[in-house]
Structures are given as C-alpha cells and as structure tokens.
Structure 1
Amino acid sequence: MEKLEGQLNGEDAPTLVVENLKTHFFTRIGAVKAVDDVSFSVQAGEILGLAGESGSGKSITGFSILGLIDPPGRVVSGAIRFKGEDLVTASPERLRGLRGNRIAMIFQDPMMTLNPVLRVDTQMIEAIQAHRKMDRKAARQRAYDALEMVGIPSPGERLNAYPHQLSGGMRQRVAIAIAFLNEPDLIIADEPTTALDVTIQAQILHEAQALCKRTGTAMIWITHDLAVVAGLADRIAVMYAGRIVETGETDDVIDRPLHPYSVGLLGSVPSANKRGERLNQIPGMTPNLIGLPPGCAFKARCPRASELCNTTPDVSELIPGRKIRCHHPHLEEAAQ
C-alpha cells in the first residue's frame, strides 16, 4: 500500500513510457513495419485500452515491451522506459528477471500460461519461487489468496486441480491470478476475454479493473472491440497499420471520436446501428504492411481522404488531452 500511495501522490514517474517505437520484421520480400513510430505512457493504477483491427500491431507492441520479439523481427528504434529503465537496451537476463515479476502478461488463450500436465498449485508456487525466496507453504498460501482475489470459488479445490478440469472462464481467472501473483507494476493483457461468453467476460473485466485500482498496477488491455474497453479503460489508444492514430480519455473517444478510423470502428458495433438497418462497416481491408504507400495508411478506406492525405500526418493535440494523427479529423462532432 505504501508503494501505491506514493505513486498516486505523484512521487514516481509513469510506470511505462513508450517513445517512437519501431518494430519491423525483415522478410525476403521486404520489411513489415508492424509497429511504426508508436508513443504512449501508462500511469500507476491506470488501464490503457489499445484498440484496433487484427494486424494493426497491437500484440506486437505488447511483445516488444516484454522483449519477446523473435527473428526476423526486431525493435529497430525507439525507447521503452519501464520505471525509468530502457528495456530496449536491457540484457536478456534482465528481461527474464522482469517478466512474470515486475511485468506480467495475460494471453488470449490461458493455456499459453498454464501447463496442462501440472496441477494449478504447482504452477503458481513455481511462479512465486522463481522470483521470491519463499518456502512452499507460504507460496501456496499466496497462491490461495490470489485465486480468492480474482473471485474463484473454493480456491483450495482449484489449486489441486489440473487445467483441463477447469472451465474456460476459470482457466482465464487462474491466468489472471498468476499475472498478479508477484504484485507486478505492469500487466499486458492480450485480448484475454475474447473466447469467453459475455457474462464471464463482464465479471473478469470488473475484477481486472478493481485489482488495478487496489494494487496500483498499470495495465495495457489489448482488444479489437472498443465496446470491451468502454467500461474498463481510463484512456484509449486507437491503432491502425502499426501506428496510433488517436488517444484520449475513454469517454471522449467513445462519445466524440476524432479520427475517421475511430468513427468507423465505433460505427461497426452492432449496438450503434438501428434495428433492421444494415451494419455499418469500414470499406476495404487493412493494407499490406510491406511497402505501404506514402501518406496516411487509412486514406484508401477513408471517406474524408484528399490529396493532402498523400503526405504523412503528424501527431497533433487539436483539443486538450486528445492526440490525433489525421489531416481531416471530425472536429465538428467534438465541438458539439
């Protein structure tokens, strides 16, 4: 609690600052600019929603922060400052010490976290003892408390179970409990509720939000669905073709999106369309990231595109707290 109070009083810098990050994959036919000049920050206890279509670079951004980019990919330039330490220049040994300890990740498939042939207690105890000098009894109690914290009923029974004996929602709760085990400063959640039914999804979103506020853990919640982060995130960063095109407070982005792509994403949500009418959708497909044409990557799908869009727009703050990368933003809606 002392750590959280200090962070909330502004004694510490942002938990994570990403500056001009570029992560490219070098193939025989060219370089894939999966992440291209991405910048954002996350404060202690804050949840940042990183939203966009499949292939927009969201997950690669998360993997870049964790140092999990394998050849032919690599971080080309930029900085990833975690608690003031640049992770881009950190050694593999240092990154291994941070992963699962100070920085944790929750995957879309909980079986990427859980070993199917080991009991839950064995896996959680090992995750604790890998980073803490703690005897098995104390570690098991900590695992029990973590399961209880994420709302798992009869945690003692779940500790003795194998992953295949748990439902999908229960497995994902266990994965979230493991992420919070060592009280990390940062958690990256890569669409962890996509495969779950809406009731379980809502419960997990509520639990994740409450845990971050209580522990002071910063979280990046990666999603393709803006509706998911609407009630979860404090801020939203919308990503397209490897770049963040809009950032702002959640209510502002949801109620008054500025970038035409954000407008299209929100218009594609079924609840935003009148009953009986055709579903609004963004025309075309996400562009091939190899050899993108000059200018705005969204111009071929944008109803507002003009000759000016053949030049790359800079990031601007036309409204306080709203950062946008666009030549023709929806300022008229924002002014209403």
Structure 2
Amino acid sequence: MSVIPPKPFTEERLSGIAGLDQRSRDIFRRLVDTYLATGEPVGSRTISRILPHNLSPASVRNVMMDLEDAGLIFSPHTSAGRMPTEQGLRFFVDAVMEVGAMPTDERAKIDAQIAASNRQRRVEDVLGEATMLLSGLSHCAGVILAPKMNARLKHIEFVNLGPGRALVILVGEDGSVENRVIEVPRGLPPSTFAQASNYLSTRFQGRTIDEVQRFVRQEMTQLRTELDEISARIVEAGIGQWSGEGDSEDKTLIVRGQANLIENATAAEDLERIRKLFEDIENKKELVQLLGAAEVGEGVRIFIGSENRLFSLSGSSIIVTPFRNAEEKIVGVMGIIGPTRMNYARIIPMVDYTAKAIGRLLT
C-alpha cells in the first residue's frame, strides 16, 4: 500500500528536517501521537513521562524548539504546549508514522458487509452502505465517487433533440432511469437514432454499461457491418457517456456520516470549522473534482488542510484511494473526510482495505 503526498516541502524546510536526529524524531512522533489522541497542545513534561528513556522536561523543550524552528510544530498560546503544523502532519504521515495492518474485527465487519450485498440490488445502494460502514468505523464522513449507473440494462433509447444533439435514456432492471444529452453529427435522419436504439436494446438487455462498452469496443468492425458508421459512432458516444469516460458530471457522489464531524468538534472554533466543512461538502462540484483527481494515481492519497483549496478554511483532511473492477480498471474513488487530527495510521489501511473489498464486489 503506497501513500502519495500531493506536495513537497520547501527547500528551506527540508534542510531543517534533514538535520533532525533520532531523538528529535522520537519526541516529534510522540508529540503528534498524543495530539492526535487528545486534540490538545502537548507539553514537554508530558513527553518526558512517556519517552522510553530518561530525558528531562528541559531537554525535551530544547528539542521542541528545534522542531518549531523546522516548521513542524507551533505553540497556539505563549504558555501552552505544542501542536503539529500542517507541514508537521505531512512530515509525520510521510516519514514518521507507522501504518500497521487493520484489526481483525474491523476487517471482519467490512467483509461481512460486502458478503451480505446482493448482486440483484442497485450497486449505488451497496456503495452507499459501504460508505456508511467506513464512516462508522472511522468516526469521520465517508465519501465515494462512482459512475452514475452500474445497473443491468432493460432498455436503451436515443431521442433526436435537434441539430447536433440527442438524448440517451437508460432504464435499468432495478427500475432506475437516467438521461444524458450527447453531441451527434448534424443532419442525421430519424432512422439513425431508431437503428442505434434497436441495436443496443435487443443485443445488450441484462448487461451492465461496462459490459456493453467492452463489447462495443471489441466488436466495432462487426458493428460497422450491421450499422452504418454514423450509427456506430452514436452507439459508442452514448455508451461512453455512461461508462465513466466523461467529465465529473458523469459521476455519482455519495457522502455519509457528516454528523461524525460534529462529534469530533471540541470547541466553538471547531464547530465553526465544521460548519464551513459542511458548506464545502454541499459544494459538490469542487469535491467531485478533488476526488476525480485522486483517480489518476496509484495508492492512497492524503490531502491535509490547506494542501487542497476546498478544505483550506475548514481545517480538514481527506484520505482517498481508487477502487477497480474485475479488469483492474479504475471505476471510482472512496475515502473519508475528517479533522486534520484524525488517526491517520488507523484510517489509511481501513480506506485501502475497503476499496479492495468494493473492487471484489464489482468482479
């Protein structure tokens, strides 16, 4: 499991961090671990008590001053302890944190949820349940971005809307109906749309969009012998609109467990940040764009606070990873949104494992 940082440190900060010895790293790790567990600034006396070797609070304070000079920690008040900066959290996640395996009971919960999912149900409903499960286990908000339609098809129809435009209507066996406007060559006769509709409805009833798309791509030569080339292009364009090849508007965004974010709030300032985060989540276009960007890479991606503009004011982090179908094609992305002081070491493998479980569901 690889974790990908979206941004490098500046050269100035890197020089300070590179000079940290093992003792400084140990103190930094324990400071961040304590902060993530409590949400409170951590003092030198607290660090001194939990270190495995004897080190006075005064010696710890000296090390903490070096960590502050390196930009890894800061003091919110003159007499308070220290907290990690966003750069400090990034350094912790990339270079200090130890990510272990998921607890057996959490893996069992995820496996049981996936095993209980019935293939005859709407895939979107199953993804929604998986998002809720991930939210419950992480005590954060769960998110999934997936193609809009994965149901098995009952009927496909193309309707001419005028020069250069047509409407694709897809009816699923589960009763779902979705419409999408596509661009087509101008001046097409009505028979072209009827021919494309009949071809797809008679041949691909009971198949998913992904299955239809694979067949059309593999059999384009045969397709052109049965349809004229323009009709074939309409078929391919119409299927492409529903296979996840389009822009972010072709995706379904599922968000579950926003209330967990309120439970994580510990002060009035936190509640205001949560209010801002809810506004960010409601602004689905930017959230979809962020999740869509995570689809193009491998491994788990972590965006901490202002590393992404969407969460720059809410002080939140997002951990996301893509999930794949049976052909190892990325078909969506899932993850969690939570406070920057979330338990990264626990949640990273949880997100990664759930994504793989979802992929097994799509085989």
Tell me the TM-score normalized by structure 1: 0.22
- Higher Cα Rg, which structure: 2
* Larger proportion of helix: 2
Q: Would you tell me which structure has more strand in proportion to its own residues?
A: 1
TM-score, length of structure 2 as denominator length: 0.20
